[in-house]
Amino acid sequence: IGPVSPPLGGEALAFQMLVEHLKKDISVKLVIIDKVYKQDKSLRRLTNPVRVIALTLKSLFPQTNGLYLTCGQTFGGVIRDCFIILIGEVYRVPIILHLHGGGIKDIYLSKNKLIRKILEKLILI
């Protein structure tokens, strides 16, 4: 789960390099979920997280050996990622979190104690 659509920044380029490398391994079946989705910006804020979560659930069946997730750099993206991490825990699917950049630190420091505890439990530990 990562950025595939333009604009391609550092996170997207790193994700693209990983995908290209994994495509060379014929024993690996990839399901790529683009966490960037082009549509009206206000509508995207509401529908895109639901779309990514639904596609993640769909990709877990019949069998998934792991999830690779690039961490969101906005509060909404982090919340979306928390749901994906919870799904992984429920279905006992190993998750690799790719944190590219320091945006999550700013999000963490700007939130109250309850949100910080949730982030610590799901992402930072």
The three-state (H, E, C) secondary structure of 23-37, written as one string: HCCCCCCCCCCECCC
d(CA 59, CA 62): 8
Q: Side chain identity at 14, as an amino acid letter?
A: A
pLDDT of residue 37 exceeding 70: no
Which residues make Cβ contacts (< 8 Å) with residue 92, sequence separation at least 6? none
Reduce the DSSP state of residue 29 to 3 states and report it.
coil
pTM recorded for the entire structure:
0.76
What is the pLDDT, as a whole number, of residue 106?
82
What confidence score (pLDDT) does residue 45 get? 63
Q: What is the pLDDT of residue 72?
A: 79
